[in-house]
Structure 1
Amino acid sequence: MLPDPGASRAVLIGSSHFDHLEQLPAVVGNLAALAETFCHSTSWGLPPENCVVVSNPASNDEVMTELRLAAKQARDTLLVYYAGHGLIDLQNALQLALPKSHKQRVESGLPYDYLRQAVLGGKSERQVIVLDCCFGGMALGVMAGTPELVDQAAVEGSYLLAAASETSYALAPPGETYTAFTGELLEVLRTGIPDGPELLELDAVYRHLRLTLGAKQRPIPQARNRNTSARLALGRNLAFLPGPPVGTSASPNMDLRTWTSAEDIRTVQGFVAALQNVRQASGLSQKAVSYRSGGRISGSGVSKLLTRETLPSTWTAVPTFLSACGMPAEQVEQWHAAWTRLRAEQASTTPAAQPPERQIPKPAVGARGAWRKLTSRIGRPKPR
C-alpha cells in the first residue's frame, strides 16, 4: 500500500541541544534529511506543508499542538518520528527528553503516553511511529535502550519501529551526520533494497535494517506490528529491477507489477502522485510511454500529466497513459471511478458561480434633454 500523500501527515520531532543531558548534534541532520526525503517524489512525495518538523521544542505544549493538528488532518497515514534521549522513570514509563529535561527529573520530558493518545485520537487509517531515542546519562554518542521500550510504545493498529533493541544501545556516533539507526533508514529510502520488493514496505525495511546494522556491528532495531500496517510502503524501491530500454516493449512480467490501487487515492495530490508511481512501476521513460501509446500522448504530454498540480479536467489522456504503462484494463476502469469521484468532490466544494449583475438600462434622454446636455458642454449660442 502506497499512502496518499495529500491525505497523510508526518510530524518529525527531535531534541539535539540539552541543558542537563549529553548533546546529540546528529539529530539536527536526522530531521532535515528525513523531511527532504519524505517530500521527494521518489519517496513518499509528501507536500511540504504536510510534513512538520519540531526541532528542540521548548515545552510539551509545542509538541502536542502539532501532533493533535496532524492527527486531526491525516485521513490515510500518520507518521510520528522522535529522535533524542529517552528517559525511563521509576514506573518504567517512557519519557521523551526535551531540551530542558533532567535525568533525575524525568517529569520534565514528554510522556510517551501523551504522544500515544494523540495518535489514537486521530482520524488516520494507519499510524507509523519511529523512535530513535536514548536513555540519558550515557557517554557522548551512546543512546541506551531498555527491553520494555518497544512494548510500552506499541499502539494498537499501528507499526512501531524502534532503534533500541532488548540488550544493546542505540548509537549516535560522534562526527557522523546522522545517528546510526536514522542514517541507515535514510540510506534505504534514498537508494532502496537490492533484490528487495518493488515497494519499500515497512516489514521489508525493518528486516533490511536488521541485516545492515548487524553487519556493521551496530545495534539491532525492534519492530511491532498490530495489523496489516506492515504492508504499508513509504515509497518505491529504487533498487528494484530496472525497466526496459527507452522505446522497447514493457517487461514480460508486467502483470506481476504492483500497481497503485485506485481505492487508496483520496486527494488530487494523491492522484498525481499515483500517476508518477505507475510510471515508475512500468519501468518506462516518459519517451517510451509515448512510444507505446502510438503517439496518442507525446513525451511532453506525459511530463505535464505527471507534474500538474490540479486534477486533469478531462479523462482522455489518463487512460492512454495508464494503458501505455501496461496497466490492465479492469484497473484502468477503477482509476476512472476514482477520477470521477474526485471531480464530484471538487464540484461540491467549489462555490457556485454568481450570476452577473443585472444591468439596469438608463432612462432614454429626450430631445430637449439631449439639447440641454449638449449646450451645457459647449455653452449656449451667443445672441446675434
Structure 2
Amino acid sequence: MVATSHYADAELSTLRAPAGSAAALYDVLGDPSICGFEVTRAVDQPCDRLLKTIERFLKRCAREDLVLLYVSCHGLLDARGQLYFAAADTHKDDLLSTAMSSTWLRNCLGACDANRQVLILDCCFSGAYVRGVMGPREVPVIAKFATASRGRAVLTASRATEYSLEGEPVPGKVQPSVYTRHLIDGIRTGEADRDGDGVIAVADAHEYVERRLREEDVDQHPALLLYESGNKLELAHCRPRGALPPPSPWPVVAGRWRLLRRTWVRAALATAVIATLTALGLMLFALTRPDSGPGREGGDTTPSPLMVSGESVVFSPDGRVLAATHPGRADSLGLTNNDSIRLSNPRTGKAVRTLDSDDHDPVALAFSPDGRTLASAGWDGRVLLWDPANGRIIRTMSGHSQVNEVAFSPDGRLLASVGDNREVRLWDPRTGKLVSSIVAHAAGVSSVAFSPDGALLATSADTLLYEGDTSVRLWNPATGTRVRTLSGLEEGIQRLAFSPDGRTLAGASWDGSVHVWNTATGKQAEAIDADDHLPGAIAFSPDGRVLAGGGFDGTVSLWDPATGRALRTLTGHQGAVNSVAFSADGALLATGSDDRTVRVWNPDTGKLLRTL
C-alpha cells in the first residue's frame, strides 16, 4: 500500500485522503476473516526509497501469490500526457527523476513472478495508466472468465483527464477518499458481492463503487481493465446472502465415525466414476475434433492450441486468410512486448504462417485491396508492410510514437496511419515514402477509415488524450482539406466504419451507442442503443444490411443499420471484443477478444463455427 499525503514541493498541496485510505484499507485487507492479505505499507516515502520498496516487494512474490498494489497520491501528467505518481520529494518540474512513472511501474509488475495481480490507482488522472497498456480504450467490466489460476486487473479511480475526489473534510477525522471509502464499505459489509456467492471478485468491487458514485451523483468515473482471468480474481470473502449461521461442530464429530466406515465404499465408487468419465471424455474429444469426419467444416467450439489475441482481426480480400494478432510472452497485465501476427485458414482453423518482428507489438492490421500486402500498426510507432505469402517484411514506415490504426485506400495507392499525435500520415505503400500528413485533431487520433470510393477519409479524436475534442471529421485525402466536421457528441468515438455504398458512416462511441451519419449531408440518424454493451469495435457486412459491434462485455451485437433494430446477439467470448470483421462474401464474421481467442461465426444464423 503506497500512500503519500505530504510533499516537499510547495506546488503540490497536502492531501487528507491517502493517510485515511491507507489506515482504513489496511484493516480490511489484513483482516483474515475478510481478505487475509499480508500487508506492507509505504507511507510518505521519498522517490528512491519508494521505488526500492515496491521493487523488493514484488521480487519476493511467488508464482502462486495474489499480489495487490494500491497507490494513493497526487497523479501528475507531463507534457506528453504520461502519468507519474508523486512521492514525498517529487518536484513537478523534475518528474523523470523525482516521481514514479507509470512506465516504470508496468515494467516492475511485468518482472514479478506472481500470476495474479491487482493494481488499484486512487489518484487524479489515474485512467491515463491505461494508455501504455491498451491505447485508446478505457475498459469497463467485462464478462466472467473460466478460471482464476491467473489474471491481471487494473482499477482506476478516475478517467485520464479527471480528478480523484477526496470528499468533504470531517473535523477530527482522517477519512479515505471518495473512491476508496466505497471500496472499503463494499468489501467490509459484503454489499459488493453482487451475485451472493460469498466471494467479492475484482469486477464485483468495481461495479459496487461505480454504482455508489452514480447514486451520489459524483462526477468521477472509475474504470476497470481486465486481462486473462482478471475478472475472477478474489479480493475478499463474505457470508453468502441468505446463508444460515455456521452449524454446531458436535454433529460433525458425532458423524465422523459413520463417515470413516463408509470411506472405502466412497473410494471404490469414486474410482469407478473417474474411470467412466475419463473414457467418455476421450470419446467425446475424438467425436468433436474438427478433422474427425470427412468434409467437416464447422461446429468446433473447443479452443485449439493456436491462441490469438483480439487486438485486431482482418480477412484477406479473397477470404482465404484470417490475420490476427498473436500474444507472445505476457507482461504483468497479460499483454506482450513481442506480439506476432498469426495467419490462419478461417474455414478450417489451420495455421498458415506466423509473422514476427522484435519489439513491434502489433495492435491493428489491414490487408491491401489486392491481398498481396498486410500492414500492421505497432505500439513501437512503426507501420510494417508484410508479404503474407512468405512472411517477410517488405518495408517499414516510422513517424508516430504510437500507432492506433491503419487503413488502405480502395485503390491501394495510399496507406493511412493514426496514433497518439495529431496527424494522419498518408504513405505510398509501394515505396514507403510519406506522401502527406493532415493535422486532424487537437490531440491523438483513435480511428481512421477510407470511404469505398476513396474520396473521403474519416477520423475520430482520441478522447483519452484530450476530452475537449469529441468530433469526427471527414477529409479529402487528395488535398488534405477538411470536408465536414461531425460534432455535438458528448463522448468520443472509438472506431469508425463506412457502409459499402459510402453513404453512411458509423462510429462506436464511449456513450454506449453507435452513431450513424449521412456522409453527404453530415446529418446524424438516431443513435443505435447498444444496451450497455459499450461497443469498442464495428464493421458493416459487404451488402450493408448488417452492422456488427463488439462489446467490452464479451458480446457481439448485430443490427439493421437502416432501422437500428437489433438482429441478434452473439455470446461466448469471455473478454472484451476489440475487433470484428466480415469476409468479402459475408458468409463469415470474425471477432477478436481479450480472452486470447478469435471466433468465427455464421452471421446469418449466429452459429459459432470455430474458435481459434
Q: Distance in 1 between matches of 2:221 and 2:78?
A: 24
Summarize deviations over 1:22-69 as a string: whole Å, max 9, x none: 1112211111221221110222212xxx31100011123x12222222
User: Is 1:27 paired with 2:1?
Assistant: no
Amino acid at match of 1:65: K
> 1:196 corresponds to which residue?
195
> 2:230 corresponds to which residue?
229
CA contact (8 A) 1:150 1:222 kept: no
> 1:129 corresponds to which residue?
119
Summarize deviations over 1:113-166 as a string: whole Å, max 9, x none: 2221111101101111000012xxxxxxxxxx2763433367995200000125
Q: Distance in 1 between matches of 2:107 and 2:34?
A: 28
> 2:351 corresponds to which residue?
none
Q: Distance in 1 between matches of 2:107 and 2:194?
A: 38
SS at match of 1:225: strand
CA contact (8 A) 2:122 2:156 kept: yes
User: Is 1:40 paired with 2:31?
Assistant: yes
C-alpha RMSD over aligned residues: 2.8
Amino acid at match of 2:241: L
Amino acid at match of 2:50: V
SS at match of 2:26: helix
Q: Distance in 2 between matches of 1:154 and 1:78?
A: 21
Summarize deviations over 1:213-261 as a string: whole Å, max 9, x none: 11111212001001102101111134x314325xxxxxxxxxxxxxxxx
Change (3 A) 1:202 1:212: same
Change (3 A) 1:146 1:53: closer
> 1:220 corresponds to which residue?
221
> 1:241 corresponds to which residue?
241
Deviation at 1:104, TM superposition (A): 3.5
CA contact (8 A) 1:163 1:220 kept: yes
> How do 1:313-352 and structure 2 match up within 5 A?
none
> 1:185 corresponds to which residue?
183
> How do 1:278-289 and structure 2 match up within 5 A?
284-285=246-247, 288-289=248-249
The runs of 5 or more residues in structure 2 that have no matched partner are 136-149, 264-268, 271-612
User: Is 1:64 paired with 2:51?
Assistant: yes
CA contact (8 A) 1:112 1:153 kept: no
CA contact (8 A) 2:35 2:236 kept: yes
SS at match of 1:148: helix
SS at match of 1:80: strand
- Which of 148, 152, 175 is matched with 2:128 structurally? 148
Change (3 A) 1:226 1:188: same
> 1:348 corresponds to which residue?
none
Change (3 A) 1:210 1:118: same
> 2:337 corresponds to which residue?
none
Where relative contact order (Cα < 8 A, 6+ residues apart) is larger, the structure is: 1
Change (3 A) 1:131 1:185: same
Runs of at least 4 residues of structure 1 off by over 4 A?
153-157
User: Is 1:169 paired with 2:163?
Assistant: yes
CA contact (8 A) 2:127 2:157 kept: no
Change (3 A) 1:122 1:154: farther
> 1:3 corresponds to which residue?
none
SS at match of 2:206: helix
Determine which structure has the larger strand proportion and give its number: 2
Change (3 A) 1:68 1:226: same
> 2:413 corresponds to which residue?
none
SS at match of 2:123: strand
- Which of these two proteins has the greater Rg computed from alpha carbons? 1
CA contact (8 A) 2:102 2:129 kept: no
- Which of 45, 48, 60 is matched with 1:73 structurally? 60
Summarize deviations over 1:58-92 as a string: whole Å, max 9, x none: 123x1222222222222221111100110111122
Q: Distance in 1 between matches of 2:46 and 2:194?
A: 44
Amino acid at match of 1:69: R
Q: Distance in 1 between matches of 2:43 and 2:85?
A: 13
User: Is 1:112 paired with 2:110?
Assistant: no
Q: Distance in 2 between matches of 1:172 and 1:93?
A: 23
Determine which structure has the larger helix proportion and give its number: 1
Summarize deviations over 1:95-121 as a string: whole Å, max 9, x none: 101122233433321112222111110
CA contact (8 A) 1:70 1:78 kept: no
SS at match of 2:55: helix
Identity %: 21
CA contact (8 A) 2:4 2:86 kept: yes
Which range moved further: 174-183 or 160-169?
Answer: 160-169
Aligned length: 236
The runs of 5 or more residues in structure 1 that have no matched partner are 1-11, 135-144, 246-283, 298-318, 324-328, 331-384
Deviation at 1:93, TM superposition (A): 1.2
Which range moved further: 159-168 or 17-26?
Answer: 159-168
- When the two structures are superposed, what TM-score results if normalisation uses the length of structure 2? 0.36
